[in-house]
């Protein structure tokens, strides 16, 4: 029988390191997704996800069970990602030429083409999110990736619930418009896929 | 699709509709079509590249490196702060070197639902943090307290010097709010545990009454009872007169941004010094209390999860407002 998060929390608080490890492993992928969507596809997301894991361990005693453990975790992930964004703004941007990350991946199996397509779609999502104003992006990710409800998002971001609703709705609308314009959403063909340095305008 | 339909679709998708609105949404094909599109978008948002296994493993290993079964089993906070539930900020004052063998032991119980715990213990302690006296401000407890209640009860509480267990103090002083009482009691238990633990490590030292909890002069002894909670209200002008804890928090956000951008300017001169790196006095502001407007110090309290902003009376050095 699989233990619930709450059972693992109790065990971890009592010193059960295996339970702690299970909790972290169980939530890591989703935490990383939250960090990735807020901090962007970069090492910052990896750093934020790791920092989130560390904060979970350090502050496990502060989890009071008023929300689900997952909600608590994704709130930490959100705040940690926002911290990473703030740090990024303060540091000079370095562009590394010829790093391993830039190397083309060898396509070694028949599924590779499909993986590339999926990767392109994911890149389009990354681009659409990156073009979204932070005020819209963060609550949208908190809701659609982190599964936080309006109240929790409002509390975390310090804005009224009405603002949260509005920003999420507008963020979604802009995301869909962006993806439709670039041919990555629905059945609508791409409007124009010629290379350009300019992001499509949001409505 | 008009804006009303779009908002209805969003609310439906997020499960935020009343039964009546739910029925309206489900009978509108345009709304339900939009819901499908929102579902697709969410699916795309959740479909992220998984990080390499090595990154995942390293992250979890790094976190597990912070895990201490011994301290967890003892019910003690890993970093030494006396916290069991909710969001608690600890302000540690390092023990003066002259009293190396003596740390003040005190637990200030709730003042009408407002809990301030100063847990002082005797003992050598295993490290600097455990040997310091902790002043732990439970902002969660504050958030659930009613200002008027706090103000009304404070006079009684202040007049009382207690030598009692922290559990008893909290149970008696916060009976009206069930959850608050639970939290306060849990905190006190933690403080007691911490005190006992530290006492256990202090064998051979002079003091024998280390676990005795003494109510000492609380930090919130000014006429301006600390006001709790609320949402952060954005502040654009640092010279604006502050009227709510939410605005104080908004000012804190603004000042933190200025500090991070190295444009904060000189910090105020004050005799209110906290020997703790997590508390940083960064500015002064005008705070409008119900009966008076007063210049207060503004302090930022760093925390891994969330920071807080404090207003401190420059004359008494007491915390008078806590921002959310």
Higher pLDDT, A121 or A177: A177
Mean pLDDT across chain B, nearest whole number? 60
**Quick one: average pLDDT of B118-136?**
32
Residue-by-residue DSSP string for B53-102: HHHHHHHHHHHHTT--HHHHHTT--TTS---SSS-EEEEEEPPPGGGTT-
Cβ contacts of A46 on chain B, cutoff 8 Å: 51, 55, 59
How many residues are given for chain B? Answer: 324
pLDDT > 90: percent of chain B? 13
Is the pLDDT reported for residue B59 higher than 80?
yes
Which pLDDT value is given to residue B131? 31
Higher pLDDT, B135 or A28: A28
CA distance B40 to B62: 35
CA distance B62 to A28: 13
Cβ contact (<8 Å) for A24 and B60? Answer: yes
Identify the band that residue B24 occupies on the pLDDT scale cut at 50, 70 and 90.
very high
Task: Give the angle B180-B181-B184 at the CA atoms, nearest 5°.
Answer: 85
Is the pLDDT reported for residue A4 higher than 60?
yes
Higher pLDDT, B146 or A178: A178
CA distance B45 to chain A (A): 7
Look at residue A151 and give its three-state secondary structure.
Answer: helix
Q: What is the DSSP letter of B52?
A: P
Looking up tokens 């006396």, which residue turns up? B82
| Selection from A154, A153, A135 nearest residue A144 by Cα | A153
Cβ contact (<8 Å) for A145 and B66? Answer: no
**Quick one: average pLDDT of B9-17?**
91
Which pLDDT value is given to residue A120? 57
Which pLDDT value is given to residue A20? 94
CA distance A194 to chain B (A): 23
A55 near B CB under 8 A? yes
Which pLDDT value is given to residue B220? 42
CA distance B110 to chain A (A): 19
Half-sphere exposure of residue B168: CA atoms within 13 angstroms, side-chain side: 8
Q: What does the pLDDT look like over A99-144, one tens digit per residue?
A: 444 444 444 444 445 445 555 567 788 888 888 888 899 999 999 9
Measured CA distances, A104 to A100, A101, A117, A193, A194 (Å): 9, 8, 14, 21, 22
Q: What does the pLDDT look like over B133-175, one tens digit per residue?
A: 333 333 333 333 333 333 333 333 323 322 333 333 333 333 3
Residue B309 near residue B249 (C-beta atoms within 8 A)? yes
Cβ contact (<8 Å) for B304 and A58? Answer: yes
Residue B202 near residue B123 (C-beta atoms within 8 A)? yes
Which pLDDT value is given to residue A188? 44
Is the pLDDT reported for residue B187 higher than 60?
no
CA distance A113 to chain B (A): 15
Cβ contact (<8 Å) for A14 and B58? Answer: no
| Selection from A17, A9, A4, A5 nearest residue A61 by Cα | A9
Which pLDDT value is given to residue A163? 93
Is the pLDDT reported for residue A56 higher than 50?
yes
Which pLDDT value is given to residue A118? 55
pLDDT > 90: percent of chain A? 36
Signed CA dihedral, A150, A152, A156, A161: sign only = positive
A-proximal residues of B, 295-324, CB under 8 Å: 304-306, 324
Identify the band that residue B277 occupies on the pLDDT scale cut at 50, 70 and 90.
low
Which pLDDT value is given to residue B2? 86
- Mutation site, B48, B141, B246, interface A, largest A CB count within 10 A: B48
Cβ contacts of A8 on chain B, cutoff 8 Å: none
Q: Which of A6-15, A64-73, A111-120 is the least confident region?
A: A111-120
Mean pLDDT across chain A, nearest whole number? 78
Cβ contacts of A122 on chain B, cutoff 8 Å: 47-49
A130 near B CB under 8 A? no
**Quick one: average pLDDT of B256-276?**
79
CA distance B72 to B48: 34
Looking up tokens 């030429």, which residue turns up? A97
Cβ contacts of B16 on chain A, cutoff 8 Å: 150, 165
**Quick one: average pLDDT of A62-81?**
88
pLDDT > 70: percent of chain B? 47
Cβ contact (<8 Å) for A32 and B14? Answer: no
Cβ contacts of B66 on chain A, cutoff 8 Å: 54, 57-58
Is the pLDDT reported for residue B255 higher than 50?
yes
B-proximal residues of A, 21-50, CB under 8 Å: 21, 24-25, 28-29, 32-33, 36-37, 41, 45-46, 49-50
**Quick one: average pLDDT of B259-272?**
82
Identify the band that residue A54 occupies on the pLDDT scale cut at 50, 70 and 90.
very high
Residue-by-residue DSSP string for B163-185: BS-HHHHHHHH--S-HHHHHHHH
Higher pLDDT, A71 or A93: A71
Identify the band that residue B275 occupies on the pLDDT scale cut at 50, 70 and 90.
low
| Selection from B230, B260, B228, B115 nearest residue B179 by Cα | B115
CA distance B49 to A105: 14
With CA atoms as reference, the chain A residue closest to B39 would be A144
> Between A and B, how many residue pairs show a Cβ–Cβ distance under 8 A?
156
Which pLDDT value is given to residue A202? 41
The partner residue sitting opposite B87, judged by closest CB among A62, A149, A169, is A62
Q: Which of A129-138, B28-37, B111-120, B245-254 is the least confident region?
A: B111-120
Which pLDDT value is given to residue B70? 55
Identify the band that residue B72 occupies on the pLDDT scale cut at 50, 70 and 90.
low
Identify the band that residue B107 occupies on the pLDDT scale cut at 50, 70 and 90.
very low
Which pLDDT value is given to residue B48? 81
* Axis crossing angle, helix A134-144 with helix A150-157, rounded to the nearest 10: 140
Higher pLDDT, B209 or A102: A102
Cβ contacts of B40 on chain A, cutoff 8 Å: 185-186
Q: Which of A5-9, B100-104, B167-171, B264-268 is the least confident region?
A: B100-104
The partner residue sitting opposite B72, judged by closest CB among A15, A119, A169, is A15
Which pLDDT value is given to residue B46? 87
Q: Which of A39-48, B85-94, B240-249, B259-268 is the least confident region?
A: B85-94
Cβ contacts of A153 on chain B, cutoff 8 Å: none
A101 near B CB under 8 A? no
């Amino acid at each position: 029988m699989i233990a619930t998060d709450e059972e693992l929390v109790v065990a971890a608080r009592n010193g059960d390191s295996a339970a702690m490890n299970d909790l972290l492993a169980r939530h890591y992928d989703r935490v990383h997704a939250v960090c990735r969507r807020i901090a962007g596809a970069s090492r910052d997301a990896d750093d934020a996800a790791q920092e989130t894991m560390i904060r979970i361990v350090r502050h496990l005693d502060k989890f009071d069970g008023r929300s689900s453990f997952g909600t608590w975790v994704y709130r930490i992930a959100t705040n940690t990602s926002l911290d990473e964004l703030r740090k990024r703004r303060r540091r000079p941007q370095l562009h590394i030429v010829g790093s391993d990350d830039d190397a083309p991946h060898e396509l070694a199996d028949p599924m590779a083409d499909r993986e590339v397509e999926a990767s392109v779609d994911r890149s389009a999502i990354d681009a659409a999110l990156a073009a979204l104003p932070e005020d819209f992006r963060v609550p949208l990710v908190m809701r659609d990736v982190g599964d936080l409800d309006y109240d929790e998002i409002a509390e975390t971001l310090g804005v009224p619930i009405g603002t949260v609703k509005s920003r999420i709705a507008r963020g979604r609308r802009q995301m869909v418009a962006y993806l439709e314009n670039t041919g990555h959403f629905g059945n609508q063909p791409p409007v124009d896929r010629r290379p350009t340095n300019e992001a499509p305008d949001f409505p | 699709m008009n804006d009303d339909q779009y908002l209805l679709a969003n609310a439906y998708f997020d499960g935020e509709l009343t039964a009546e609105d739910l029925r309206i949404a489900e009978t509108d094909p345009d709304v339900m079509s939009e819901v499908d599109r929102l579902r697709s978008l969410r699916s795309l948002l959740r479909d992220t590249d998984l990080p390499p296994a090595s990154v995942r493993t390293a992250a979890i290993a790094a976190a597990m490196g912070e895990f201490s079964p011994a301290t967890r089993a003892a019910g003690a906070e890993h970093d030494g702060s006396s916290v069991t539930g909710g969001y608690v900020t600890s302000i540690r004052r390092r023990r003066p070197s002259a009293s190396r063998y003596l740390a003040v032991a005190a637990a200030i119980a709730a003042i009408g639902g407002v809990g301030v715990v100063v847990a002082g213990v005797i003992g050598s302690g295993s490290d600097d943090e455990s040997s310091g006296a902790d002043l732990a401000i439970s902002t969660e407890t504050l958030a659930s307290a009613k200002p008027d209640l706090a103000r009304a009860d404070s006079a009684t509480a202040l007049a009382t010097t207690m030598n009692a267990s922290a559990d008893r103090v909290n149970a008696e002083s916060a009976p009206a709010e069930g959850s608050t009482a639970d939290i306060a009691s849990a905190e006190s238990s933690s403080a007691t545990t911490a005190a006992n633990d530290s006492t256990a490590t202090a064998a051979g030292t002079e003091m024998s009454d280390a676990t005795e909890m003494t109510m000492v002069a609380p930090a919130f002894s000014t006429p301006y009872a600390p006001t709790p909670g609320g949402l952060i209200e954005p502040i654009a002008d640092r010279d604006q007169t502050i009227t709510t804890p939410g605005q104080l928090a908004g000012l804190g956000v603004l000042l933190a941004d200025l500090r991070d951008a190295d444009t904060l300017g000189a910090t105020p001169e004050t005799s209110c010094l906290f020997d703790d790196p997590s508390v940083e006095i960064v500015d002064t502001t005008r705070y409008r209390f119900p009966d008076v407007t007063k210049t207060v110090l503004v302090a930022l309290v760093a925390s891994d999860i969330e920071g807080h902003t404090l207003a401190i009376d420059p004359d008494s050095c007491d915390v008078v407002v806590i921002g959310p």
